[in-house]
Copies of this chain bind each other. A is one copy, B any other.
Amino acid sequence: MADESNNPLFFRRILITIDEDDRPSTSRAFRFAMTMARDYQAHLGIASVLESNDISIYESLMPDKLNEKRDELKAIVKEYADKATAFGVNDVRSIVAEGGDVDDVVLQKVIPEFKPDLVVCGADVDFASHGHPGAIGLRLAKKSDVSVIVIR
């Protein structure tokens, strides 16, 4: 094997997880992800998760309510995607996932499907209804098998 220890290292598939609420660290994390994706011609995946906890049992019996929440989240992710495209990122994919716990959905559905080599997350991104205390980025940093950056 050639000695690669002096080669540049950057990322080719960058996944950013977006909070529904617009927290300051989400904005900074998104700016970093856009900058990397533009400057290194990386693929950018913008993901958000519709949590089960966001949906009450009452609402889950009403498909219209659920569709409405899903559409809201899709619109938020699309807004970020449009921003990234305008910023100069060539390859942007919007991802809205659902079903269960945010950590689990990102680790078990979003990451295996998008196959990022870097996950970008704001330090204070913690979905409101989330069961575990502490920020999602830190848990992804611990559990994921790809590189993770926690932006503050």
Contacts and interface: CB of A to CB of B under 8 A. Distances in A.
A134 B105 CA distance: 24
Residue among A6, A28, A144 facing the most chain B CB atoms (10 A cut-off): A6
A147 B142 contact: no
Interface residues of A, number: 33
Interface string A127-152: 00000000001100110111111111
Copy number of this protein in the oligomer? 2
Interface string A71-88: 000000000000100110
Q: Which 5 A-B pairs have the closest CB atoms?
A: A9-B31, A149-B149, A8-B35, A9-B32, A147-B151
Contacts of A151: 147
A39 interface: yes
B147 A150 contact: yes
B149 A138 contact: no
A152 B146 contact: yes
